[in-house]
Structure 1
Amino acid sequence: MGRAAAFFDLDRTVIATSSALAFARPFYRDGLMNRRDVLASGYAQLVYKVAGAGDEQMAKIRDQLASLCRGWPVDQVRRIVAETLDELIAPYVYAEAVALIGQHRAAGRDVVLVSSSGEEMVRPIAELVGADDVIATRMTIREGRFTGDVEFYAAGPNKAEAVREMAARNGYDLAACYAYSDSVSDVPLLETVGYPTVVNPDRALRRAAQRRAWPLVTFRRPVPTRLVRLASSLRRPAPGSLLSRPAVPAALAVTAGAAVVLAIWYGRRRATARTAG
């Protein structure tokens, strides 16, 4: 058996929000988007999440993304993301996702975020939560600006193809790999690995998961920013150590490292406080 990895969809799987929409406000504030752009992007995201998206709808969203970003300075986008990450993303990271990422890292698996959002947004989020790599939408860049052309759109079957290509490069045994997603558009991704799990699924994915007998889990609790940062800084244990044993997705309470334990403890403490109140 070769190496293994865990592939996580981002929006509503690792974070309880849309990564693209989360940055709309600072992009608008800094003049990259106008009010109509913000509304159009929000509508597209709503349609995608509520009704799903076929090939035609995905193509429309891709083209809208390309048109929206045309001419944006890449350095400005990266600066905005870096400056607002702790405010706009960190408070929405699921504690359960942090715990699960910790499990996979402890077991020696690479962790990869797979998202249709732009790489300039996804890679900093990956660093925040402790992921090793990303598969994300890539825009063509010329002279420091986005040209408006999409080099790779990480959605639907494209995600699965990118996972297969990464597995070939890195020597992953896909039968030993894991994948997590909330969206029916990621069925091809989930079918690519040996251990698929659906997280907070939309209605169509729930039906698909029931037909395939895929495990289903629910993530609810956000984790404090300081614990997300601490969890992402954990190092992997040496091969052969107790923490290098395989993780079981259903056993989310089995965590690796003090930061992950604290994340779960914090979530339970909040729930107990609400009940007592």
Structure 2
Amino acid sequence: MSLKIFDLDETLIAADSVTLFGRFLLSEGVVDERFVEQESLYMDQYSAGKLDIHDFVDFFVGALRHLPVSDIQKMMPRFVESYIKPVVYHQGQARVKHYKEQGHDLLIISATPAFVVKEIAALLGIENVLAIDLVEEEVAGQSMYSGEILGTPTFREGKVTRLRSWLASNGASLKDSTFYSDSSNDIPLLELVDHPVVINPDERLLLKAQQDNWSVLHWKN
């Protein structure tokens, strides 16, 4: 059996999970409209290939620094139920189910903080996750996110670095591997696998896919 790798946002779900989480935090009274507006600017930078991932994570986690990690975890089921379930790509869900039935190893690798990705991965039935790990610090006896990234961020070439480390730790290989992604930020990893597949690609990624004869799929929610 081979490794089947998925990006998360706009690949398995028809949205950006960080954007949705921002809206969820707004509905919970944790952030205000200014946070949502600033997050949108960061997403524009991501789409343009100009995002500073450390700057973004510091901003994103800044809204949560006053909350213990345990309190954040208690919020996640409500977020997944109300904001994620409605935007799961049915085609992606079917593809995951098919691969699981065939006995393939599945992995989500995402540039979104791990505490978000792991909840969505559980919904989709995918156990293996590589995402942005966050530094935790103890404050008044409670574990809190500091806003700093722990280790190499799973972003652009960092996805390749983290994947290679994961493969070594798990005795796995990229033989006959497949990677699904929507973003030109993931070109380094798409170039690494045997079967790159692009989902609803942005303009730059579509051009790359056409030049290199990659598979192009168009999924609808």
Contact 2:8–2:108 at 8 Å: present in 1 too? yes
Question: Offset at 1:63?
Answer: 4.0
Q: Work out the CA distance in 2 between the residues paired with 1:31 and 1:149.
A: 24
Amino acid at match of 2:7: D
1:104 is aligned, of 99, 114, 124, to: 99
> How large is the RMSD of aligned CA atoms in angstroms?
1.8
State yes or no: 1:180 paired with 2:180: yes
Amino acid across the alignment from 2:144: R
Residues 1:149 and 2:129 are matched in the alignment: no
Residue 199 (1) aligns with residue 194 (2): no
Name the CA distance, whole Å, in 1 between partners of 2:57 and 2:24.
21
Partner residue in 1 for 2:122: 127
The residue number in structure 1 matching 2:10 is 12
- 8 Å contact 2:2–2:105 — kept in the other structure? yes
Cα deviation, residue 170, structure 1:
1.6
Q: Of 135, 153, 158, which residue of structure 2 is paired with 1:140?
A: 135
Return the offset for 1:156.
0.7
Distance in 2 between residues matched to 1:78 and 1:95, nearest whole Å: 26
| CA contact 2:54–2:148 (8 Å) conserved in 1 | no
Instruction: In structure 2, list runs of 5 or more residues that go unmatched.
Output: none
Q: What residue number does 2:165 align with?
A: 165
The change in CA–CA distance for 1:68 and 1:162 in structure 2 (over 3 A counts) is: same
* Aligned residue identity for 2:102: A
SS for the counterpart of 1:39 is: helix
Q: Deviations over 1:48-73 (max 9, x none)?
A: 22x2x14x644443443354443432
Q: Secondary structure at the match of 1:61?
A: helix
Q: 3-state SS of the aligned residue for 1:192?
A: coil
Structure with higher strand content: 2
Indicate the percent of aligned positions where both proteins have the same amino acid: 28
- Preserved contact between residue 68 and residue 148 of structure 1 (Cα < 8 Å): no
Distance (Å, rounded) in 2 between the aligned partners of 1:211 and 1:72: 47
Q: Do the aligned residues in 1 keep the contact of 2:57 with 2:147 (CA within 8 Å)?
A: no
Contact 2:167 2:173 in 1 (8 A): yes
Name whichever of 23-32 and 40-49 sits farther off: 23-32
Greater CA drift, 205-214 or 39-48: 39-48
Q: Which residue identity is paired with 1:150?
A: I
Per the TM alignment, residue 191 of structure 1 is displaced from its structure 2 partner at its CA by 1.6
Larger radius of gyration: 1
In the TM superposition, residue 90 of structure 1 has moved relative to its aligned partner by 0.6
Secondary structure, counterpart of 2:108 in structure 1 = strand
Deviation at 1:28, TM superposition (A): 2.5
Q: Residues 100-151 of structure 1, C-alpha deviation per residue, up to 9 Å, x if partnerless?
A: 1112112211211111111111101001111121111111111211112111
Match of 1:41 among 14, 35, 39: 39
Aligned positions of 1:206-245 closer than 5 A: 206-220=206-220, 222=221
Q: What is residue 76 of structure 1 aligned with on the other side?
A: 71
**Are 1:23 and 1:81, in contact at CA under 8 Å, matched by a contact in 2?**
no
Q: Quote the Cα distance in structure 1 between the aligned partners of 2:127 and 2:100.
A: 9
Equivalent position of 1:241 in the other structure = none
Contact 1:4-1:177 within 8 A present in 2 as well:
yes
CA distance in 1 between partners of 2:196 and 2:5 (Å): 9
For 2:175 and 2:60, the matched residues in 1 are separated by 34
Residues of 2 paired with 1:146 and 1:59: CA distance? 14
User: CA separation in 1, counterparts of 2:86 and 2:167?
Assistant: 31
Q: Give the aligned residue type for 1:204.
A: R
1:214 positional shift: 0.8
CA contact (8 A) 1:118 1:136 kept: yes
SS at structure 2 position matched to 1:176: coil
User: Greater helix share, 1 or 2?
Assistant: 1
Q: Is the 8 A contact 2:200 2:219 kept in 1?
A: yes
Residues in 1 aligned to 2:204 and 2:64: alpha-carbon distance in whole angstroms: 31
Partner amino acid, structure 2, of 1:147:
S
